[in-house]
Structure 1
Amino acid sequence: MDTGSQTSGAWLSREELDAARERMPILYIDAVPVRVDWLGEVTAVGLLLRATERGISRALVSGRVLYHERVREALLRHLDKDLGPLALPRIPSTPQPFTVAEYFPVPGVTPFHDPRQHAVSLAFVVPVEGDCAPQQDALELTWITPAEAKDPALLGEMQGGQGTLLLQGLAHLGC
């Protein structure tokens, strides 16, 4: 039984990852960072401004789950990578996704599209309590109200169906 994550030797080369993406779905996590008040009500939703190969867009925290990595560890790693080490995410010991998003390389199969691959993503809402500072390819983190997060113009800035995922997360929270 694996008692810890052994991800250091689990990275694939670009060629190996491209070959895997051509043959099988890849497991991802998506996370909607939120701020909650003392009653547990969502007061703000955090959206990244991210630079990718496809341009600049608003985005959720997202990334691959590595070989021998638990889902909780992947969530912590990607939240740390995108929001900084002082974000202080509150993730239960056994996190439960609010939905499973299936990204296809062909648009229109589901609301989710990733031209690189077929990916399956477990989507979570994660309260964060600390100071967040965007890291790596995250250029900015903007906190908005749940009502502002439903703005069609803002949702249109999100690629690959992440706007749909954000709406599903807000609905899951009763917002």
Structure 2
Amino acid sequence: MPTETEREESWLTRDELEDVRGRVPMLYVIAVPVRVGEAGDLDQVGLLLRASDTGRMERELVAGRVLYHERIRDALVRHLEKDLGPMALPRIPVSPQPLTVAEFFPTPGVTPYHDPRQHAVALVFAVPVHGDCAPQQDALELAWLTPSEAASTDVEAEMAGGHAVLLRQVLAHLGQTL
């Protein structure tokens, strides 16, 4: 039996996760994989293509929950490797600082960010990737787009839940005037 200072650390069951999601905000990380040229300019942005729960094909940013007792840096690496493959070689600083914070609500319209499952707070990062990427898990494709392609209305139309707004914020943060 755990003492007061010891905790049982394990994954939540599906039912437990749904219960917690209905009671407290969940912490997420969102990573926008980027490739930077020799001069330090943004060359490409990586976007995933996945089938949504409704069967619609959507472009997404790399995202996922931060686990209990997991450092933000470790969560970023875990999600980038899960979605982009182990050879993506993301360059994450020792002490990463988010470029923005997004608050997702189950009620549409509270913020530009919507997640019908939960209230979630996401720390958003642009992460340089230096290796070969191959989509993993349920991603069908990883597309490397120029900043202007990534900011196009066609790509924006393929993004849901406010991810297009976040992508534009990341591009602006990285000096892209679109």
Q: Kindly state the Cα deviation for residue 52 of structure 1 after the two structures are TM-superposed.
A: 3.2
Partner of 2:117: 116
The higher radius of gyration belongs to 2
1:13, 1:130 → 2: CA distance?
Answer: 34
Partner of 2:137: 136
Q: Any runs of at least 4 consecutive aligned residues in structure 1 with deviations exceeding 3 A, and if so which?
A: none
Q: Kindly state the Cα deviation for residue 9 of structure 1 after the two structures are TM-superposed.
A: 4.2
2:87, 2:9 → 1: CA distance?
Answer: 26
The letter for the 2-side match of 1:150 is A
Give the alignment of 1:1-175 within 5 angstroms.
Answer: 9-55=9-55, 56-175=57-176
Classify the secondary structure of the residue corresponding to 2:43: strand
Go from structure 1 to structure 2 and tell me whether the alpha carbon gap of 1:66 and 1:172 turns closer, same or farther (over 3 Å shift). same
1:51, 1:86 → 2: CA distance?
Answer: 24
Go from structure 1 to structure 2 and tell me whether the alpha carbon gap of 1:54 and 1:103 turns closer, same or farther (over 3 Å shift). farther
Query: Contact 1:83–1:135 (CA<8 Å) still a contact in 2?
Result: yes
**1:33-69: CA deviation from partner (whole Å, max 9, x where unpaired):** 0000112111000000012323321000000000000
The letter for the 1-side match of 2:130 is E
Query: Contact 1:81–1:136 (CA<8 Å) still a contact in 2?
Result: yes
2:54, 2:65 → 1: CA distance?
Answer: 18
Query: Contact 1:10–1:66 (CA<8 Å) still a contact in 2?
Result: no
Classify the secondary structure of the residue corresponding to 2:44: strand
Q: Kindly state the Cα deviation for residue 171 of structure 1 after the two structures are TM-superposed.
A: 0.3
Query: Contact 1:100–1:121 (CA<8 Å) still a contact in 2?
Result: yes
Partner of 1:3: none
Partner of 1:5: none
Query: Contact 2:35–2:45 (CA<8 Å) still a contact in 1?
Result: yes
The letter for the 1-side match of 2:30 is D
Q: State the TM-score, normalizing by the size of structure 2.
A: 0.92
Classify the secondary structure of the residue corresponding to 2:73: helix
**1:108-140: CA deviation from partner (whole Å, max 9, x where unpaired):** 000000000000000000000000000001110
Classify the secondary structure of the residue corresponding to 1:106: coil
Percent identity for Structure 1 against Structure 2: 65
